[in-house]
Structure 1
């Protein structure tokens, strides 16, 4: 498990998924670094690592779930990979209801009582994934857990657990930045 996690972190570093500068995040917060997991989800090996790490984490913790969901856009490929890995159906949560057709805010089936593993790419405050959880719960689903590839350690865990959800980060940003320094140190030797 640790080996797979280190490989994923290395892939993130190699792909340029971590940028330094001045950024405004989706939470509205400003940051001197940006984690763009979308840069690495286009790599099938990295996507497979993410799916395996999430599936393994959920299994180790003993989370039972019926469906995998991901909010658009960044979490969709990850949720799809987890769905394929676990054999559980996929649900996509739109940011807002479609303005045409059925006007639905989800793609996929959600039934009353379904236990949902909600997957996210990156969390800062947890606002985006909590909005997705509200949409799913409004349809009668229960959130079994929220799994995230990278937690920026800026309040998401507290926001998510205070709502009673199980929070499962695969990588914490401190681990990512520590690995970056370790790799950088090896390169300068």
Structure 2
């Protein structure tokens, strides 16, 4: 599957000067919401992601996503796997299960994001699930930014990756872009001002 083509066709691979949630800057940004706004495409991508997970032989009872960005991808993955879907959300800065969602002690859970960068939000959701008794058996995403090592990728794990070593990550492809801190950002040096993704119509 050429997932990059899906992003390009949806005008979801943006070029500019972006301020990422990590505080770093990048010339490129993946806007997965633009890809997932087409339900047919969302279904196709989720079915392919589910196939990878099934081939690995992992038993799954539930998919959980951190709100807000992972909800569409996670819901479609749960539908493709034929399991229930829940999501976590931050309350006073802490990832929490709300809205009547619950996990059984025996539930095996996949944490799904639209994009995995360092995996920080996914890890927060995983810890939330584990404190309620569930077992996190895998992480999943449509796209992997190359910091964490996914199943079937030749890229090596980087120090910035926050996901556990012993739990597999499934994604449809790696998207590797240069990332800069503000002090070393060449775009800032040229006088450009970084915008936060999601603003100015992005």
Q: Residue 173 of structure 1 corresponds to which residue in structure 2? A: 175
Equivalent position to 2:97, from 100, 105, 113? 105
**Alignment partners' CA distance in 1, 2:169 and 2:80:** 20
**Alignment partners' CA distance in 2, 1:162 and 1:55:** 21
Equivalences for 1:9-158 in 2 at 5 Å? 9-96=4-91, 105-107=97-99, 108-153=101-146, 155-157=147-149, 158=157
Q: CA RMSD in A?
A: 2.2
What stretches of structure 1 of length at least 5 have no aligned partner? 99-103, 175-189
Higher share in helix: 1
- Contact 2:42–2:76 (Cα < 8 Å) also in 1: yes
Q: Secondary structure at the match of 2:90?
A: coil
- Contact 1:27–1:127 (Cα < 8 Å) also in 2: no
Compared with structure 1, are the counterparts of its residues 171 and 11 closer, same or farther at alpha carbon in structure 2 (3 Å cutoff)? same
Q: Secondary structure at the match of 2:9?
A: helix
Count of equivalent residues: 165
Q: Which has the higher contact order (CA 8 A, sep 6+)?
A: 2
TM-score, normalised relative to structure 1: 0.79
**Alignment partners' CA distance in 1, 2:134 and 2:171:** 22
- Contact 2:35–2:41 (Cα < 8 Å) also in 1: yes
TM-score, normalised relative to structure 2: 0.74
